[in-house]
Amino acid sequence: MMEILGQVGNASSIHAFGRAARRIVEDARERVAALVGVSSPQVVFTSGATEANNTVLALTDRPRVLVSAIEHDSVLAAAPDAEIVPVTPEGLVDLAALEAMLDADNRPSLVAVMLANNEIGTLQPVAEVAAIAKRHGALVHCDAVQATGKIPVDFVALDIDFMSLSAHKLGGPQGNGALIVREGVPVPTLIRGGGQEKRRRAGTENVAGIAGFGAAAEAAAAGLGAYNRVAVLRDALESRIRAAFPETPIFGGCAPRIANTSCIAMPGMSAETQLMGFDLAGIAVSSGSACSSGKVAASHVLAALGVGRDLAKSAVRVSLGWDADEGQIERFVETWITLRQKAERRTAVA
Ligand code: PLP
CA of 157 to the centre of ligand 1 (A): 23
Ligand 1 neighbourhood includes 179 CB (under 6 angstroms): no
Nearest to 67 by CA among 304, 227, 275: 304
pLDDT score at 291: 47
> For the chain, how long is the longest CA-to-CA vector?
74
Q: Does 266 have pLDDT greater than 50?
A: yes
Q: Tens digit of pLDDT for each residue in 84-132? A: 999 999 999 999 999 999 999 999 999 999 999 999 999 999 999 999 9
Is residue 201 lining ligand 1, measured as CB closer than 6 Å?
Answer: no
List pLDDT tens digits, range 275-307: 999 999 999 999 865 445 555 567 999 999 999
Residues with active-site annotation: 291
* Strand order from edge to edge, sheet including 162-166: 43-46, 177-181, 162-166, 139-143, 109-112, 64-68, 83-85
**Predicted pLDDT of residue 346:** 83
Name the nearest CA neighbour of 175 among 30, 343, 11, 49. Answer: 49
According to the model, what pLDDT value does residue 298 have? 79
* 145 pocket-lining for ligand 1 (C-beta < 6 Å): yes
> pLDDT value at position 335?
98
What spacing in Å lies between the alpha carbon of 319 and ligand 1's midpoint?
14
Residues pairing with 116 in the sheet: 123
Give helix 126-135 / helix 95-104 axis angle, nearest 10°: 20
pTM: 0.96
For 171-187, what is the HEC assignment?
CCCCCCEEEEECCCCCC
pLDDT band per the 50, 70, 90 thresholds, residue 5: very high
Which residue lies with its CA nearest to atom 12 of ligand 1?
A: 49
Q: How many CB atoms lie within 10 A of CB 338?
A: 12
Q: Is 301 in the pocket of ligand 1 (CB under 6 A)?
A: no
- Residue of 93, 169, 213 to test ligand 1 pocket, by largest number of atoms within 8 Å of CB: 169
Percent of the chain with pLDDT over 70: 97
Is there a contact between 188 and 62 (Cβ–Cβ < 8 Å)? no
- DSSP, collapsed to helix, strand or coil, labels residue 221 as helix
d(CA 110, CA 202): 24
Residue 276 CB–ligand 1 contact under 6 Å:
no
Nearest ligand 1 atom to alpha carbon 168: 15
Q: From the CA of 114, give the closest atom in ligand 1.
A: 3
